[in-house]
A = this chain, B = another copy of it.
């Protein structure tokens, strides 16, 4: 049986200070058996994002150490940035990669959140699939009004009480949102037009929030560097709404509006299954190539 693998993509409220970024990285890579897959820092938003994966034990330990490092190195009282945030370690999503269910990820999130609250004195909100209150499935509800206002609200407003720890926020580290969600696939499609209104109309057509495809978030943007319009998308459940379905929906709507696709982009890493499903559609596969991918088998067998 394949060993379970999780991914974690924590967001921290620091995107500028090299010493803090190094401390966060060190906290994560100090855990053996973990793969640090990506590290990004945004100086405008003053945020950083790390992507790592491994066994549940390794991922939970690395997440905990990173939240501890964030508490020790980031003081939200002196943090500025345009992105809404409630904590030094702002959001910590756990993502199932292999042989683990979303429900199990939610249970891991609860375990991690309890440890953060208990050992680090940082109150925790559980969100998305780990939410304990239905409204907290939406991260924007959890983060509403941000750190500064939330400091007061948790003391008086029962609807804003943390799920673990608290009620007072940690004075410098605030609170942390710990969640479980499916893999997020960032996929953009470029059009042969500079007319951003066309990309916006396509985005409205395909996105879930306006009645389009389930688990698709989309917006139309103008890429100044290339002088063309782009449909920028997040697929939040590529098994329910696969890549090829999204691509074909965009292609059809673009054609209806007199535009066509010139190219597409994947941002970050893409699960083999998502790619395999797309190849399967266009090659009319009767087998399931997404389940025949050599590297998936090696990953299962070689690290067992």
Which stretch (A109-117, A174-182, A195-203, A265-273) binds chain B? A265-273
B278 near A263: Cβ-Cβ < 8 Å: no
CB interface residues, A 226-274, toward B, < 8 Å: 243-244, 247, 261-272
Shortest C-beta distance, A51 to chain B (Å), equals: 10
Pair B298/A285 contact, Cβ less than 8 Å: no
Which residues in B have their C-beta under 8 angstroms from that of A293?
269-272, 275, 295
| B283 close to A97 (CB less than 8 A) | no
Residues of B within 8 A of A275 (CB): 272, 275-276, 279, 289-290, 293
Question: Are B265 and A287 in contact, CB atoms less than 8 angstroms apart?
Answer: yes
Given known contacts A35-B301, A299-B302, A303-B303, A264 and B292 CB-to-CB distance under 8 angstroms: no
Is A292's CB under 8 angstroms from B266's CB?
Answer: yes
Residues of B within 8 A of A54 (CB): 302
Closest-by-CB residue of B relative to A270 is B292
A297 within 8 A of B: yes
A276 to B295, CA, bound (A): 12
Contact in complex: B269, A278 (CB < 8 Å) = no
Check B264–A283 contact: CB distance below 8 A. yes
Q: Is A221 an interface residue (CB 8 A)?
A: no
One of B268, B278, B298 near A292 (C-beta < 8 A): B268
Measured as residues with beta carbon below 8 angstroms from the partner, the interface class of chain A is 35 or more
Tell me which of A36, A286, A294 has the highest count of chain B C-beta atoms within 10 A of its own C-beta.
A294
Complex contact B33–A302 (CB within 8 A):
yes
Alpha-carbon distance between A286 and B293 when the two chains are bound, in angstroms? 22
A142 at the interface (CB under 8 A from B): no
| Measured CA separation A303–B302 after assembly (Å) | 7
Q: Among the listed B190, B267, B269, which residue makes an inter-chain contact with A297, where contact means beta carbons less than 8 Å apart?
A: B269
Q: A293-B269, A295-B271 are in contact. Are A264 and B284 (CB under 8 A)?
A: yes
A298 to chain B, nearest CB (A): 6
Contact B298 A5 (CB under 8 A): yes
Asked if A66 lies at the interface with its beta carbon under 8 angstroms from chain B, I say no
Please report the C-alpha to C-alpha distance between residue A37 and residue B196 in the assembled complex, in whole angstroms. 49
- Beyond A271-B295, A299-B298, whether A263 also contacts B284 by CB under 8 A is yes
Interface residues in chain A, defined as those with a beta carbon under 8 Å from any beta carbon in chain B: 5, 33, 35-37, 53-54, 97, 190, 243-244, 247, 261-272, 275-276, 278-279, 281-287, 289-290, 292-299, 301-303
Q: List the 10 closest pairs (A to B, CB-CB), nearest first.
A: A35-B301, A282-B282, A263-B286, A278-B279, A269-B294, A295-B295, A279-B279, A272-B295, A275-B279, A263-B284
